[in-house]
Structure 1
Amino acid sequence: MKISLCIALLASTATLLNAAPTDKSQSFPLAANPNFKPNPKNAIAKARAKYYKYLADVSADGGGSVPLTDVSGDLEYYGIVSVGTPPQKLKLDFDTGSSDLWFASTLCSGCSGTQTKFNPTKSTTYKKEGKSWSIGYGDGSNARGTTGIDTVTIGGLAIKNQRIELAQTESAQFQQGATDGLLGLGFNTISTVAGTKTPMDNLISQGLISNPVFGVWLGKASQGGGGEYLFGGINTSKVSGAFTKVPADNSQGWYSINVDGGSAGQGASIDQFSGIVDTGTTLLLFTDSVAKQVADSYGATDNGDGTYTISCDASSLSDLTLSIGGTNFVIPAADLIYYRQGSQCIAGFGSAGMSFAILGDVFLKNVYTVFAPTVPEVRFAKLA
């Protein structure tokens, strides 16, 4: 069956990478698009498209039938990553829900004229490899091309012999975005090209970081935006109190954790659920049943497309609390109002119709998160 195009809502929060050096660590700042216009018709669908193989209503042979338009007014988060020698700077999305490092290149005749395209002929360290790769998403967006090997520098850390994926074709959805490609921070089991070591794998194996973790702080636009990824360490200046360590299931290539439950509205309980910790998804997307519990507790109205209409008066709402690993983490009432459209407000939570939840930026911008792939586990702390 086709997935409803109305399920969309993807508006990323401005991200910067964390900056507290441990032995070997590197702060990596991200830039935010200042032209922020949330599009409540464009974010759940992106999440559904990303995980479409796990939707009950997608047939085995019908993937890719829902178009996802990347509206130029959406806020996108990217970091500057250098590729090649001399370095060519690219704007890449950082995404813990995928594992490919791909970007526009001069091999691509149809890539956007506004994108920076990596030119392999101008890099003295580039090696042609020639493996074919192809990425397709449930909304019909896609990219494909060929692989090469080159030096990739992230926040001053130079990864040698990193496999890169050079786009030769790109669908319109990618061409209309504000970035040049994507840097996946998930596990290598879901890399498109078998046997690929991700940039995080290589940061560890090449000894570029002594602590095999990366910390993430996502800023809020209401507080100036920004954010930070810190590879190899934790920015303790952003942390208040102790970390809660949560085992992660990486069997599907993602950081999947269990949430013990929580409370919403005026103390209404919500059931436990499992969810993916995903920096590449904007909203807090619950399973259908939990989304209904949360919505009912706030008197929110189901719009029938995965989104909910909620009161525009934050003072009339109570905080949402999720219990993880025995610790309560709070999403303030103000963050439950994602977007105002006339006199109507769209909630920062929703449902993508999947058997698991996605703990996106509505949650992550209220905690400091550390990803530890070698354990594997995720650690959360309250913000300072």
Structure 2
Amino acid sequence: MLLQRSVLVLVAVHSALASDAALQPQKIVLSSRIAPTPSALKRRQLSQANVPLEDFFKGTDLQWFGNISVGTPPQDITVVFDTGSSSLEFSSTLCNSCRNAAPKFDPSRSSTFVDGGRTSSITFGTGVGVDPVVGDNYQLTLRSGTDTVTVGGLKSTNVPLFLITDQTPTFNIDPFSGIQGMGARASGFFASLIAQGLPSLFGLFLTPLSVGNAELTIGGVDSSKFSGPLTFASLPGRGSSAWTLTSTGVSVNGRTTSTLSTSRSLIFDSGTSNMIFNTATTEAIYALISPDIKPNSAEPGTYGIACNRISSLPAKIDITFTAQTGRPFNLTIPSSELSVGPFANDPSLCQTLINAVDNFQIVGASLLKHYYSVWDVGNQRLGFAAI
């Protein structure tokens, strides 16, 4: 999900799990670009940890989420590990409007919880599903605090967090409690773990429901999850919390146009379920797939085509980037991703994978679930390998 700053605090850009815990895969760990000092080497005590992820599936893969614990004694909650945001927020017993079935945190039961006393609200630019956000229909009201947070057995103390005290009804379908931001600048529990000696990177294995065994690896890479080499591309500049890469062009079924062959910045967001481009790019892509893919006025920003036509349409989308070696490489969305399911207002019409939004452009799960991805905070780069 893409998070937009609304009131007071909160930084970031927002809109995520079943693994066999008995497996002991061989792993590789990538080091930071900045060589550690001897004192830092002595401090390095933490090893990478794997967190199994569940897939929220509602006709298509929507979000992957996993367990963390908060407080003393620990209370288990579930969160989307969201590369499109940078803060931790989750539902609490203070929230009367939080009617989803996910666990809620009770601050009165934690001896280490400290109330920060600040309230704020945030509005999300992409939501839980595949439909564009309309106005403020994805909004949370929050109260600040700090507490102990444990992820994958790794513990951080005095972690800044936000308790959800009110939410719009759109969140009530969520099977998870909240969101743990994993932006390009380490923050919260992840920054604390890095300070304790954990390598400053994580790997994501966001598999389709039919594949399963999705996983987050904190502080390293699970090399048993992919084949072939990792290809890395550098973020365009330090300082941003967004995982952004510059694309040099897009092609569809091997063809491109002047609109598609231009440079564009794309945000990589594990919390966004599909793809988002500006209107010109979206319509240029659809024009190369089928002239019958049209906007659906019932849901502004969406497009669709008759469901009985989907399986016959080739729709391979290649997005080109430049590797750190200087060579171009493609990340590919296969034709099987074209449909994200029937529209509620017309089940004979299927929504297609790209929404048109002119404020930002996002690479979401439609692409990420076809690659193992490495999010290297220390080296400010993103890596991809075939799975």
TM range (shorter): 0.7 to 0.9
TM superposition shift of 1:37: 3.7
- What residue number does 1:118 align with? 105
Q: Structure 1 residues 17 and 248 mapped into 2: Cα distance closer, same or farther (>3 Å)?
A: farther
- What residue number does 1:327 align with? 329
Contact 2:202 2:375 in 1 (8 A): yes
Residues 321-357 of structure 1, C-alpha deviation per residue, up to 9 Å, x if partnerless? 1212211222211122222454433222232223x42
Residues 24-58 of structure 1, C-alpha deviation per residue, up to 9 Å, x if partnerless? 11111112235x245xxxxxxxxxxxxxxxxxxxx
Match of 1:280 among 253, 271, 291: 271
Counterparts of 1:31-42 in structure 2, within 5 Å, are 31-33=54-56, 36-37=58-59
Q: Structure 1 residues 343 and 126 mapped into 2: Cα distance closer, same or farther (>3 Å)?
A: closer
Contact 2:17 2:213 in 1 (8 A): yes
TM superposition shift of 1:257: 0.8
- What residue number does 2:301 align with? 306
Match of 2:286 among 281, 295, 301: 295
TM superposition shift of 1:147: 2.3
Contact 1:151 1:162 in 2 (8 A): yes
Q: Does 1:367 align with 2:371?
A: yes
- What residue number does 2:189 align with? 199
TM superposition shift of 1:175: 3.8
Q: Structure 1 residues 118 and 165 mapped into 2: Cα distance closer, same or farther (>3 Å)?
A: same
**Unpaired stretches in structure 2, ≥5 consecutive residues:** 1-14, 30-46, 125-134, 323-327
TM superposition shift of 1:213: 0.4
Match of 2:68 among 56, 81, 104: 81
Residues 46-103 of structure 1, C-alpha deviation per residue, up to 9 Å, x if partnerless? xxxxxxxxxxxxxxxxxxxxxxxxxxxx844321111112211111122111112011
- What residue number does 1:345 align with? 350
TM superposition shift of 1:140: 4.0
Cα distance in 2 between the residues matched to 1:248 and 1:284: 19
Q: Give 3-state SS (helix, strand or coil) of 2:230's partner.
A: strand
- What residue number does 1:4 align with? none
Cα distance in 1 between the residues matched to 2:376 and 2:191: 11
Contact 2:204 2:372 in 1 (8 A): yes
Q: Give 3-state SS (helix, strand or coil) of 2:227's partner.
A: strand
**Unpaired stretches in structure 1, ≥5 consecutive residues:** 1-11, 39-73, 190-196
TM superposition shift of 1:363: 0.9
Residues 184-207 of structure 1, C-alpha deviation per residue, up to 9 Å, x if partnerless? 111569xxxxxxx42222221122
Q: Structure 1 residues 251 and 139 mapped into 2: Cα distance closer, same or farther (>3 Å)?
A: farther
Q: Does 1:240 align with 2:244?
A: no
- What residue number does 2:149 align with? 152
Cα distance in 2 between the residues matched to 1:348 and 1:156: 36
Cα RMSD, aligned residues only: 2.8
Cα distance in 2 between the residues matched to 1:302 and 1:265: 19
Q: Structure 1 residues 318 and 113 mapped into 2: Cα distance closer, same or farther (>3 Å)?
A: closer
Query: What is the identity, as a one-letter code, of the residue corresponding to 2:371?
Result: V
Query: What is the identity, as a one-letter code, of the residue corresponding to 1:118?
Result: F
Match of 1:213 among 173, 191, 201: 201
Percent identity for Structure 1 against Structure 2: 29
Q: Does 1:163 align with 2:155?
A: no
TM superposition shift of 1:167: 2.3
Contact 2:27 2:223 in 1 (8 A): no
Residues 140-190 of structure 1, C-alpha deviation per residue, up to 9 Å, x if partnerless? 43323322222111111111221121223333233443221111111569x
Q: Structure 1 residues 264 and 214 mapped into 2: Cα distance closer, same or farther (>3 Å)?
A: same
- What residue number does 2:9 align with? none
Q: Does 1:381 align with 2:385?
A: yes
Q: Give 3-state SS (helix, strand or coil) of 2:94's partner.
A: coil
- What residue number does 1:263 align with? 251
TM-score (norm 2): 0.75
- Deviating more after overlay: 166-175 vs 370-379: 166-175
TM-score (norm 1): 0.76
Cα distance in 2 between the residues matched to 1:13 and 1:87: 22
Residues 123-142 of structure 1, C-alpha deviation per residue, up to 9 Å, x if partnerless? 23323333333323452433
